[in-house]
Amino acid sequence: MGLSEEIYKRRTFAIISHPDAGKTTLTEKLLLYGGAIHTAGSVKARRSSKMATSDWMAMEQERGISISTSVMHFEWAGCEMNLLDTPGHNDFSEDTYRTLAAADTAIMLIDAVKGVEPQTIKLFQVCRMRGIPIVTFINKMDREGRDPLELLSEIEDVLGIPTSPATWPVGQGKAFTGVYDRWHQSLLKFERAEGGSNRVPIIESSLDDPALKNEIGDRFYGDLRDALELLDGAGDSFDKEKFLAGKLSPVFFGSALTNFGVEPFLDAFIDLAPAPRERMTADGDVVVPDTEDFSGFVFKIQANMDPRHRDRIAFFRICSGRFERGMQATIQRTGAKLTLAKSLMFMAQERSNVEEAFAGDIVGLWDSGQLHIGDTLFTGKSVTYEGIPRFSPENFVRVVLRDPLKRKQLKKGLDELSEEGAVQVFYDLERMERDPILGAVGRLQFDVVQNRLENEYNVHVTFDNLPYQHARWIDGELDVKEISRRSGTLCLRDIEDRLIVLFSSEWMMNRIIDDYKDKNVTFIAAVQPGRKVG
């Protein structure tokens, strides 16, 4: 099979949602249907001590939440599926933002009971900014939720994107028995499988099936007929070009818990989701995926996925060409040559060696510390993909080390966790490293760092909360002594020796920014790792 044919088979996508919308459950079911697992686990199934496949970190399993992006590979209908399961919790949104840079499509998961929620809005805006097409899956139809037409209206009003239902629920709550496939005009009824741990049989029927009204009742049957008539007359028809441009979202209904609607969704998703497309470089050039030159970028680094080996894995999105184990590529940032001898594909924490991969695939590269998030690797002509920024943190703590003899281990742990993007590390202006300060977008990140320092580096710490809410990197000549004399500010250096100022309030930050507006000083809210400010 040629290079273009291999690349065309790839589908690389992320799932975005608000916490508790059922994202991890849907991920499990996609893996179940793709044959990657034989029985779906649930983060709620504590009695069997069976945890979700995608949640591999100990803390994730303890709390039942996704903390770090998981990369999983499975096959469906002749296509190679690269699934990026992102954290839903707002405190881990930075990890999600970085991961979306590697995705070609996003599945937006909506809770049928709660509708569009705040974190969904934020992640949708990131997808729109990146031009990522979005497929909507309205989940939890097995519960008594909101009217489906009302949910569509909310998506359009709140997110500002037209919708085009591909399927429509047959009943709701306990009466939810299937979906009507509007594109193929067929009724798909499902047989319940115990606990939703196995694939469910589908019975294809029609709206004229005499048993349907008895199964779902007169009210739901009448609602189904009326809704389909309304959608046919006044709904938006599906336009694939608009979808690929991010201007229309096809909508599917189902229940990830019971598996109802999952298989029809997967079948349609294969045709909807684009194969890897051309990518824009930082210089404005366009790189097509089936060019012979290999290139791609690092969007995530994870240390100690296998604590026994203290490994460090760089997750790499291939943007063009073919990857072969043992090939040599150039790190654009440093110009150094890197032999890609240890390469892996993942099923969450489980890993397998990969000999070759193609544009669209996600490959784990064993890294000794040479790679940073945002790094471009290439062969042939030099290329630089747009970097992945670090956002200014909003929560700050000072690290208190319980055992002063563990200071070297603390520095190693914080350096590695900072390189992963889990937390940002700051020091005072003299670079005294005795009492580092940590910054994070969400406070739960501090719990993760504390937990990982203890379990992975054998370092016990506590945190003292600091009264700062905003941070800005400084480009220009700032009078540090003058700023430091003001109450509610703190001047620090980040791990790359860039000046950053913390502010106790938005008012204080805006006042100082206003004071320096005519002094050639810029206050920056996001920076590129590995690059100087300015």
Domains of the chain: 11-272 (3.40.50.300), 279-378 (3.40.50.300), 390-527 (3.30.70.3280)
Is residue 470 a contact partner of residue 392, using CB atoms and an 8 Å limit?
Answer: yes
For 70-100, write each residue's pLDDT tens digit. 688 889 999 999 998 776 555 556 777 788 8
pLDDT at res. 46 = 34
pLDDT at res. 43 = 36
64-68, 385-389, 430-434: range with lowest mean pLDDT: 64-68
Highest average pLDDT, of 65-79, 431-445, 465-479, comes from 465-479
pLDDT at res. 90 = 58
Residue 182 dihedral angles phi and psi, to the nearest 5°:
-70, -30
pLDDT at res. 58 = 52
pLDDT at res. 56 = 41
Averaged over 287-314, what is the pLDDT?
84
Tokens for 166, please give them: 């591909």
Three-class DSSP category at 30: helix
Other CB atoms within 10 A of residue 273 CB = 22
- pLDDT beyond 70 at 336: yes
Residue-averaged pLDDT of the chain: 86
pLDDT at res. 375 = 93
- pLDDT beyond 80 at 487: yes
Is residue 318 a contact partner of residue 363, using CB atoms and an 8 Å limit?
Answer: yes
245-259, 377-391, 502-516: range with lowest mean pLDDT: 377-391
For 187-229, write each residue's pLDDT tens digit. 998 887 665 667 888 889 888 888 888 888 888 888 899 999 9
Residue 22 vs residues 134, 353, 449: alpha-carbon distances, Å: 17, 31, 26
Closest CA to 367 of 432, 300, 421, 422: 300
pLDDT at res. 531 = 67
Chain centre distance of CA 376: 20
In this prediction, residue 430 has a pLDDT band, given cuts at 50, 70 and 90, of confident
Averaged over 515-530, what is the pLDDT?
85
- pLDDT beyond 60 at 17: yes
In this prediction, residue 118 has a pLDDT band, given cuts at 50, 70 and 90, of confident
pLDDT at res. 69 = 54
For 155-188, write each residue's pLDDT tens digit. 999 999 999 999 999 999 988 999 999 999 999 9
- pLDDT beyond 60 at 143: yes
* Rg (the chain; Cα; Å): 25
Say how far apart CA 427 and CA 493 lie, in whole Å.
5
What whole-number percentage of the chain has pLDDT above 70? 88
Say how far apart CA 86 and CA 71 lie, in whole Å.
9
For 26-67, write each residue's pLDDT tens digit. 988 998 888 877 666 543 343 333 444 444 455 544 544 444
Residue 13 dihedral angles phi and psi, to the nearest 5°:
-145, 155
Contacts of 445 (CB under 8 A, 6+ apart): 91, 92, 395, 422, 423
For 356-373, write each residue's pLDDT tens digit. 999 999 999 998 889 988
pLDDT at res. 213 = 80
pLDDT at res. 40 = 60
In this prediction, residue 308 has a pLDDT band, given cuts at 50, 70 and 90, of low
- pLDDT beyond 50 at 348: no
Is residue 488 a contact partner of residue 502, using CB atoms and an 8 Å limit?
Answer: no
pLDDT at res. 396 = 96
pLDDT at res. 357 = 95
For 119-138, write each residue's pLDDT tens digit. 888 889 888 988 899 999 99
Say how far apart CA 446 and CA 155 lie, in whole Å.
33
31-40, 381-390, 419-428: range with lowest mean pLDDT: 31-40
Say how far apart CA 223 and CA 214 lie, in whole Å.
14
Other CB atoms within 10 A of residue 217 CB = 12
15-29, 206-220, 226-240, 414-428: range with lowest mean pLDDT: 206-220
Say how far apart CA 23 and CA 45 lie, in whole Å.
16
pTM of the model: 0.84
Q: What letters, b where the CB count within 10 A reaches 16 and e where it falls short, cover 446-472?
A: bbbbbbbbeebbebebebeebebbbbb
- pLDDT beyond 50 at 474: yes
pLDDT at res. 48 = 39
